[in-house]
Amino acid sequence: MKPVSIDPIGSHPVGLTPPPRTGGRNAWCYCPALSAILLLLCCGIGRGGAVQNVSETSAAIEAALTRAGQNRREIELALRLTPSAHREGMEFLIVNMPDRDLKSLTARFLTENVSVAYQGLDHAPWKSRIPRQLFLNDILPYACLNEKRDDSRKFLQAKAAPLVADCESPAEAAQRLNQRLFPLLNAHYSTERKRPDQSPLETVESGKATCSGLSILLVDACRSVGIPARVVGTPMWTNMRGNHTWVEIWDGDWHFAGAAEPESAGLDRGWFSGDAAKAKAEIPLHAIYASSFKATGLSFPLVWAPGIRWVNAVNVTNRYLPEHSGADSGKGRLLIKVMDRNGKRISAAVTVTANGSVASAFSGVSKGESADLNDILSVPVLRMCPAPKYTIHVEYRGRTVNQEVKAGATPEDLVVITVR
């Protein structure tokens, strides 16, 4: 799909925050009506002879300031301190941010995030290729989901920028970050993390996160260097094994990757692509959603906080279905999980043969505790009825286990083997 042509960043103003008045410490005030008049005087007539519609933006800003309550002065100060070149971005954030942020975020936090976001894009070789609206919604935002709002953007930019200094495209840079950033920060998958919705600095501090925390970290790192990125996930796979979260980055179109799970062959690959190809767009529990900062009328399903409805989302399920993913509906999967005597997942050598035929053997390694819980060794099998027999041979630290199973009558068969 070709990207839609959209006005480049900074091509025209989208509202106005008035300069401070002189004459006193608290003399400055924000007036929506005056803002609209001043902008019309400055900008006059828009493209095609139409007057720029700034009244809606001004009204939206005033509504946000009202919702800010006692924190209104901090939001007003953020508007006041933002340079004109960044004004559109600051206004976008204020109009679209959830009420909890309007009531708590400081002017310093907002102005620093906006400044670093524009700086990251300014230094990106692909700057001219990023549509204006994509920058606003998928680079500029200071958060992805409901995670703690922390000062991670400047930190991540300092770590990420040297890693992608020679990259020429968002896809190349995102792949580089996925390969090198997590080892650099000593952050890895672990079910022992404190919370599923950790902020980047919380993940860096502990070095542990599950798929959601790792995805938030990778998205924020991508955004810090001018790569449009968003968190993507499903509340439940159709096989009912659980939820999962991953990342999409934009390079002419959206592409996906597992956070801290780089594939040597590039983007749009991952252990979960087969599960994603079975998603159901019309069933909320089994659909796939991408995060959005601006309102969409749809909420991102936070399985760890189902009561939160203010994280916006887009239903992107259809992009992962077989006609787009290349999945073969005529094949099934034999999933093999190997455990030790203590019930911990272990990485063991696995060989699968069909009907005793060595010529058709499959070899692989089972997933240990450092892999996502839903990342299970997958062996492709033909869909047949009756199901053919397979022999699974497992080797682990000098011990071996052989087990015979039937697979292929259903789309997916899970086998758990314990090495004692």
247, 232 in Cβ contact below 8 A?
A: yes
Determine the distance from the C-alpha atom of residue 61 to the mean position of all C-alpha atoms in its chain, rounded to a whole number: 27
How confident is the prediction along the chain (420 residues), in pLDDT tens digits per residue?
Answer: 444 433 444 443 333 344 443 333 333 344 444 444 344 334 433 333 333 455 678 999 999 999 999 999 999 999 999 999 999 999 999 999 999 999 999 999 999 999 999 999 999 999 999 999 999 999 999 999 999 999 999 999 999 999 999 999 999 999 999 999 999 999 999 989 999 999 999 999 999 999 999 999 999 999 999 999 999 999 999 999 899 999 999 999 999 999 999 999 999 999 999 899 999 999 999 999 999 999 999 999 999 999 999 999 999 999 999 864 444 456 788 889 999 999 999 999 999 988 766 656 888 899 998 888 888 898 888 776 777 888 999 999 999 999 999 887 777 788 999 999
Going by C-alpha positions, the residue among 157, 127, 129, 128 that lies closest to residue 142 is: 157
Residue type, 362: F
206, 221 in Cβ contact below 8 A?
A: no
In whole angstroms, what is the distance from residue 182 CA to residue 184 CA? Answer: 5
Going by C-alpha positions, the residue among 286, 277, 281, 289 that lies closest to residue 326 is: 277
In whole angstroms, what is the distance from residue 215 CA to residue 290 CA? Answer: 12
Q: Give the pair of three-digit tokens for residue 215.
A: 């995805």
In whole angstroms, what is the distance from residue 77 CA to residue 72 CA? Answer: 8
Write the DSSP assignment of 107-139 as a string of letters. Answer: HHHHHHHHHHHHHHHHT-TTGGGSBHHHHHHHT
According to DSSP, residue 261 is labeled B
Strand locations in 188-273 (E): 188-189, 208-209, 229-234, 244-250, 254-257
The long-range contacts involving 53-59, CB below 8 angstroms and separated by at least 24 positions, are 54/14, 54/15, 54/16, 57/14, 57/15, 57/91, 57/95, 58/15, 58/16, 58/32, 58/33, 59/32
